[in-house]
Structure 1
Amino acid sequence: MLVILMDDQLLLPQKVCQSCLMADQTGQPRWRQGRLRCGRLVEKLSDTQPDQYECQMGFRVANIE
């Protein structure tokens, strides 16, 4: 599940990405083949945390399971 990481909360992308020009036609982030296409990979601090991406709007996005 894709989530937007804020300081002390997780937000669903539907709440944030609908207003983004980089989102797909359904207002979802452009997630393909395990990568966020509308952002860049952020360096991991540890192997236990999921991959995090910084989107074009400056939000942190992670795929958590």
Structure 2
Amino acid sequence: MLVVILNDRIVAPERVCQACLLADRDGQPRWRQGKLSCGRIIRDLNCCSEPQANAYECQMGFKLMDLE
């Protein structure tokens, strides 16, 4: 499940990506084959206690995390 991290809150991508020019037709992040194509993977996300989780930063500057 892909989520957006905003300060101390977890938000569904639909609430953030809906207005993004880089989102797909449905207002979803461009998530393909387990990778965020409209962002880059990051290794350090201060808000999370699980370093093995995949964290991303989209081109608009939002932090996203793939929770399993």
| Secondary structure of 1:52 counterpart | strand
Query: TM-score scaled by structure 2?
Result: 0.85
> Is the contact made by 1:2 and 1:63 (CA closer than 8 Å) also made in structure 2?
yes
Paired residues of 2:43 and 2:51 also in contact (CA < 8 A): no
- Asked if 1:63 corresponds to 2:60, the answer is no
Query: Is the 2:3–2:10 contact (alpha carbons within 8 Å) kept by the matching residues of 1?
Result: yes
Equivalent residue runs for 1:1-65 within 5 Å: 1-44=1-44, 48-65=51-68
Aligned-residue offset at 1:32: 0.5
Q: Which runs of 5+ in 1 are unaligned?
A: none
Identity over aligned residues, as a percent? 54
Q: Could you give the per-residue CA deviations for residues 11-35 of structure 1, whole angstroms, max 9, x where no partner exists?
A: 0000000100000000000000110
Tell me if structure 1 keeps the 8 A contact 2:14–2:27.
Answer: yes
Once the 2 structures are TM-superposed, how far is the Cα of residue 43 of structure 1 from its aligned partner? Answer: 1.8
The Cα RMSD (Å) is 1.8
Where has structure 1 moved over 2 Å in runs of 4 or more? 44-49
